[in-house]
Structures are given as C-alpha cells and as structure tokens.
Structure 1
Amino acid sequence: MPATYVIGDIHGALKALKQLITRIAPKEEDTLIFLGDYVDGWSESAEVITWLMELEKQYHCIFIKGNHDAWCESWLHGIMPEASWQRNGGKETVESFNKLSPEQLAIHTQFLERMLPYHIDHQNRLYIHAGFTSTHGPAHERFEPMLYWDRSLWELALALDPLIPKDSNRYPKRLALFHEIYIGHTPSLNYGEVMPMIAANVHNVDTGAAFTGKISGMNADTKQVWQSDTVQLLYPDERGRNR
C-alpha cells in the first residue's frame, strides 16, 4: 500500500534534505507532502527548490507554502518583504537566488506560485504550514497569510485538556474538523523537544532545521519518524538563523 510521508521545515538545508529522503527511501508510488519553509536560513535555498522540482519527477509530491516561501515569492516579483526578512534568512536566500540565470529565476518563481496553501487527503487529514483561525476551516480563512503565520491552532492543541473527548461540545471546533492536522512553522526546540510533537490531533513536524535542529519526516499512517543529522553540523561554516 502506498505510504504518505510528511516533511517538516527545510530552510535552505539541501544536504540535510537529501539525507532525510535517502533515509526514508520512499517508493515511486508513495506521496511526499512538504509542509513549507523551503528557503531562508542555510545557504542553499535556490538549490533546494531546484532539487524539489527534480524530486517531483520521481514521486507524487505536494508542496505547501510557508511564510518564508511567501516572502521569497514577493521578492522574486520585485516586492521587498518586511525588513525582518533579511534578518531571518532572507540575506542568504538572495545570495543563493542571485546565482541563477533569468530563465532559472522564472522557473523557480513559477514553482513558488503553484505551491498550495493547504492540502486535505482522502482520510480527512489536513496538511498546512502554520494553522488557521476560522472555525469553518482553512478554506474560510479571510486573511490567507494566516495559513502561513498562525500559531494559535498549535497553542490551542497544546493547552487542550486531553480528557475532553473529540465528540464533546467542549472540544475545539477547529480541531474537530479534521481527523488529523499536520503543521510546521513552530520549532519543537521551543519546547525543549528534538522530535516531532503531538498535541490533541495536531502533529508538529518542525524540528528546528533553521536553528540547531534537524529536518524531520513522518509516515502519516504508522507515525514512524526519520531525521537528518543536525543541520548545523552539515554546514559547519554557517550560522543559519542562529542570531
């Protein structure tokens, strides 16, 4: 039976991404769902995008857009994102993309443009970069960037009393909409964890690759987890977003 693998935040760490995919060893019929933030941090953001475009020729890939990808897309369209972008990995992304030809830049821009804001599979599992605020689901989010930035969904899941059953009228409507929810965006390192976390029915697969952590991948059916080496060890002369 084909497997579904969920990949957390990457942040320009091509070496770690290649290592992770090798360790997962997906089959041609499997699905790879990437939760966003492919760029900003380590030095190979453009190279990550190039490799992902090659990867989707081998597997069924679904690419979710993250806040850093939205920033990068704006820059590629000539709109400079907010000043904090440069301090949060944007400088390294600009240096990486400046190595590309105009033709390559156009192809990379198109790739970013066609990324999805979220994906719902046939098992009613939601894959989204950050979260959503509408009690009717992400399709009803009035401000699309919230899908890239929201942390209230994860905070809600963390704070939820685990004794409240899912069929209770006290169970949060946002969480009850889906069988499971897979997110990135908020590093597990923030909570002293180096592995993906679960709270209620929300799986957080961001294990801090932008900082001192690793890139993680999870089988959405079995919940088995694979990880790259610590990204910083693969880029010993860089600092990532460790500022």
Structure 2
Amino acid sequence: MSAGQMTRALVIGGSGAIGSAIAAQLRDAQVQVVTLSRQSTPPLDLCDENSVQQAALALRDQAPFQLIIHAAGVLHTPDAMPEKKLGDLHMAQLQQTFMINTFGPALVLRYFHPLLDKQQGRMAFLSAKVGSTGDNRLGGWYSYRASKAALNMLVKTAAIEVQRNCPQQVLLALHPGTVQSALSAPFKGGHAARAPEIAAAELLSVIRSKTPADSGGFFSYDGQTLPW
C-alpha cells in the first residue's frame, strides 16, 4: 500500500509517544487522521466496553479507514512496576495489564474492524517482542509478557476469520522496539531508545510493505518475522 492509496487513518492511543508520531507522519503524507484516547472527542476508554462501542459508532460516517493502528498499552503505573518474580504477582496488576493490553484491543477488533476498508484495509496492533514465547530467555515481566502474547493470538485468530470474507485486508501484530516514551523511561536502556519519529516511520514502512499473505503475522519494526 502506498501513501497515495491511503486517504483515511485512525490511530487509537493517539496521545502517546508512538501514536502521536504516527499520526503526525500520516498527516504530513496528506492522510486524513482521526486519533482516539481517553481525552479525545469521542473519548475511548479501553477498560469500558460501552466506551469502545460508542467511539466506533461515532466514527461510522467517517469510514472506511484504510489504516487503523492500535498504539495504546501499559507496562507500568505509578503504583506498580513489571513483576520480576512469582512473589510479585497479584490479581489487581494482572487484571489491569490484561484489561489494557489484551481485553481492550479485543474489543477494538470487534467494534472497529467494521470500519476498515474491505479492499485495502490494514489494521495493526502494537505488541512487544517480550510477548514472544519462543524468544523469552530472561523471564520476568509476567503480566506484560503474557498480555502481549495473548494479544498476538487475538490478532492471529482474527486474521483467519477476516481472510474468509475480506481476503485483501491485512491484520498485523508489530514490535516497535524500545522507543523514547513514558513507558520505557524507568528502565535500563531507555535513555538510548529510538526517537518516536524514527519508530513511527519504521512501523509505517512495515505496514505498507506487508501483503494479505502476511496477515496475522508478528513482525518487528525492521520487518523481520518474530517467533510466537
């Protein structure tokens, strides 16, 4: 898909570092962009199914979108950091992490997929390499890893269903790498992370390069296929 084929795009999580950078670059390419977040109009709260449904209904008249990107997610909060050991696990953090990283995106798939262009639509979800079971060598970060692994399965499963009725659509799970943001700031290596503008350009390049044969895949920002 070239920039010329893309006229409308939707960025969910458009107030975050990566989401806002993606939206800016799409606008620079003369793409009409709608961004959604808890502060947008309409607002979108990933922890509230009615909010997700109503936000999708509010955008029906602006569809179809050639691109929908889900760039929202959580790794840590002021009250909880990623769990380093089994003794750190507790229900509240598990529920919150899965609510935002997995259950919310599942509802986005349900309610926003009908707004996707049936002939050339692409829908991408920001996942994480640490959500790869096959690549897990260090352990730790229990709820974040598990929530992203579950997100990958949702994208893969949805792609199988979508292929039956909309074989030209492409659904992707993407690893953005370590990016300068509030998410990466507290961690080792965060200071050396890539700028959001660089990550956005790389992710958009990957999205444009993939074909329906790649739908349901898990890819890194450099285009490489990641293990499940």
Question: How does the TM-score come out when normalised to structure 1?
Answer: 0.31
Higher normalized helix content (fraction of residues):
2
Q: Name which structure has the greater RCO, CA cutoff 8 Å, separation 6+.
A: 1
